[in-house]
Chains A and B, each alone.
Chain A
């Protein structure tokens, strides 16, 4: 017996829908076995997870709090990945956006009219994020420097800068020397919609809609798609690849920058420990699972946030160790990612060592 993958001759809509569903069921089964092995009731665990994330309106708003940066960063990542530009620096772009927005909120309130403080914070955050992605883009276009390395390295630069800033020069002078900036003036607070779910949700939805439109309905999106799918052909057909790469990366970074700006103005309302929580990395998984479709990024991000929040509440409600929550999250994600291969390939089981011509005839 020989099992191998065969590339599908055409896309199967059924496979596209069924694959994630079946993968998810397999995920739950595998995780269930693991939980049972540790003497933890899987049904109760899943119920608790679901309730923790979506059980009450309040819980749902908390899930949204986590989903907002995930939606935004996954949109940013998807924009770069559309071009096959492997921007794994969304984390750094988010952090830099947060730093820049904090700077505006803290230091420009003296001369900016209050009604402008928040929008300017967010725009400057976006610009900073864009810049942070633009640098690797320019390096790639001009000097062909590998973007996976540069974007990854810039994450560390951004995170260290952020640590240095809130522990050092921007530290709240009235905070007894404790790390963290002073609280932003109220004019720089991003309004909250319900619970702690803030306006960032609206931004995320608008950006998702705009990006969807841009990807599938505009000249720009058309060129991005050409470059992403076949760079050589795009060049032959006169597409300016360098300019598009830089532009797309500015957009990509800016969206992640907005995520950072919303986190500081909407949640903490100060710059302090807890901005870099790995959203930018989770976003890569989300972007892939969404097949880089901005409209799909939104629900997938919410589900992913639910998985993260639910994992925490299992800890609270069932007293399982936090590592178990992490393992569960990983076990649920893994088959889903692996499953995506079935939309492109199908599994073929054949007998081995049959004569080649016979096998052909048998078909």
Chain B
């Protein structure tokens, strides 16, 4: 028995010493270095490797790092759940001396404002919400414009005239995207319908795939989505069918079956806002940029998209960029055919932000 104990102690000592040797060449973590660089933090709902929403924000962060170089120093935390944890994580960044904090999910809105009130010297940028304060701005993009264009491609590609749409939550952001997409679909194919399935999650590869499969089983031959992963696109590709990407240029991760993607481009915006904060010209605002501003984009077309369709889409894109027309300019009819936006009228941004009805051509309900 005694002997065993001696052996145990020796093993323990060995184990203790191992990390010491191994840890000798440890690099200092970014956030720990002490210099005068402007410190910028990002709070992510998913992981940069999701190839979707968080991937795009991280691409934006890296673009800002590239543009501003040594002048800034960035850090991020991934997989932060919406809820009590978010407040803590945001506060920890503020407490650690970060000068600017981007919070990139709707559920971070209240936590961001809560911490912002406590740290007036730190500036905050919250994505996709509707509240602001003196040191909290919010930002978002009119991705619905890209959605509309991608819908045109989908409408021209469907043969069954059923397009499946995997939606995360029945909230205005998603509803607006579905509506814009559907208006685009009907532009090229008045006979098509857009079938919506809710997953009630932003990020769940398994559920997203299941929803896509259910849509394919029910006759859809093009899949679009408002989710954080590429699973719905992959499900379509596996059946030899088409899909429309979202968030990033998903053709790069899935293949040419992704006909086109409605995508984000946060880099220039992030660079601009960080620079403003650095030189003191930063002001709280509610930013909602569109195709013309470059925060939302349409990816390159897949080689499977015909020249005619491309030409048509690009013409519409130019129209939107020029400001002469926007997706929800009247007339817009709801599912039951009632006109909700009168012909010739342009809806206010507030109406779009709170949009909670489906337009004509959508199959599904907003209230689950």
Q: Which of A105-113, A213-221, A269-277 contacts B (4 or more CB under 8 A)?
A: A269-277
> How close is B326's CB to chain A, nearest CB, in angstroms?
19
> How close is B144's CB to chain A, nearest CB, in angstroms?
14
Q: Given A318-B29, A322-B47, do A274 and B81 touch, yes or no (CB 8 Å)?
A: yes
> How close is A309's CB to chain B, nearest CB, in angstroms?
7
Contact in complex: A274, B107 (CB < 8 Å): yes
Contact in complex: B32, A317 (CB < 8 Å): yes
What residues of chain B lie closer than 8 Å to A196, measured between beta carbons? 84, 87
The DSSP consensus for interface residues of chain A is helix
Contact in complex: A167, B175 (CB < 8 Å): no
What residues of chain B lie closer than 8 Å to A42, measured between beta carbons? 19, 23
> How close is B20's CB to chain A, nearest CB, in angstroms?
8
Contact in complex: A322, B78 (CB < 8 Å): yes
Q: Scan residues 223-280 of chain A and give those whose CB is less than 8 A from a CB of chain B.
A: 263, 267-268, 272-275, 277
Q: Given A37-B22, A43-B19, A177-B354, do A319 and B88 touch, yes or no (CB 8 Å)?
A: no
Q: Is A65 an interface residue when CB atoms closer than 8 A count as contact?
A: yes
- Cβ-closest chain A residue relative to B15: A29
What residues of chain A lie closer than 8 Å to B82, measured between beta carbons? 272-274
> How close is B140's CB to chain A, nearest CB, in angstroms?
12
> How close is A227's CB to chain B, nearest CB, in angstroms?
36
- Cβ-closest chain B residue relative to A270: B110
Contact in complex: A316, B81 (CB < 8 Å): no
Q: Given A177-B355, A318-B31, do A66 and B172 touch, yes or no (CB 8 Å)?
A: no
What residues of chain B lie closer than 8 Å to A26, measured between beta carbons? 12, 15
Contact in complex: A316, B75 (CB < 8 Å): yes
> How close is B181's CB to chain A, nearest CB, in angstroms?
18
- Cβ-closest chain B residue relative to A176: B354
Q: Is B63 an interface residue when CB atoms closer than 8 A count as contact?
A: no
Q: How far is the CA of A163 from the CA of B202 in the complex (A)?
A: 13
What residues of chain B lie closer than 8 Å to A313, measured between beta carbons? 92
Q: How far is the CA of A194 from the CA of B47 in the complex (A)?
A: 32
Q: How far is the CA of A41 from the CA of B24 in the complex (A)?
A: 8
Q: Is A84 an interface residue when CB atoms closer than 8 A count as contact?
A: no
Q: Is B93 an interface residue when CB atoms closer than 8 A count as contact?
A: yes
Q: Is B35 an interface residue when CB atoms closer than 8 A count as contact?
A: no
- Cβ-closest chain B residue relative to A62: B88
Task: Render A57-91 as a binary contact track against B, CB cut-off 8 A, 1 for contact.
Answer: 01000100110000000000000000000000000
Q: How far is the CA of A33 from the CA of B170 in the complex (A)?
A: 46
Q: How far is the CA of A42 from the CA of B19 in the complex (A)?
A: 7
**Cross-interface CB contact of B85 among A39, A167, A177, A277, cutoff 8 Å:** A277
Q: How far is the CA of A177 from the CA of B128 in the complex (A)?
A: 13
What residues of chain B lie closer than 8 Å to A275, measured between beta carbons? 83
Q: How far is the CA of A152 from the CA of B69 in the complex (A)?
A: 51
Q: How far is the CA of A36 from the CA of B85 in the complex (A)?
A: 28
- Cβ-closest chain B residue relative to A196: B87
Q: Is A147 an interface residue when CB atoms closer than 8 A count as contact?
A: no
Contact in complex: A263, B84 (CB < 8 Å): yes
Q: Is A168 an interface residue when CB atoms closer than 8 A count as contact?
A: yes
What residues of chain B lie closer than 8 Å to A318, measured between beta carbons? 29, 31-32
Task: Render B331-368 as a binary contact track against A, CB cut-off 8 A, 1 for contact.
Answer: 00000000000000000001001111000000000011
Q: How far is the CA of A65 from the CA of B92 in the complex (A)?
A: 14
Contact in complex: A65, B84 (CB < 8 Å): yes
Task: Render B197-235 as a binary contact track against A, CB cut-off 8 A, 1 for contact.
Answer: 000100000000000000000000000000000000000
Q: Scan residues 270-325 of chain A and give those whose CB is less than 8 A from a CB of chain B.
A: 272-275, 277, 309, 312-313, 315-323
Q: How far is the CA of A323 from the CA of B77 in the complex (A)?
A: 11
- Give me the interface of A with B, judged by CB distance under 8 Å: 25-26, 29-30, 32-33, 35-37, 39-44, 52, 58, 62, 65-66, 160, 163-164, 167-169, 176-179, 196, 263, 267-268, 272-275, 277, 309, 312-313, 315-323, 349
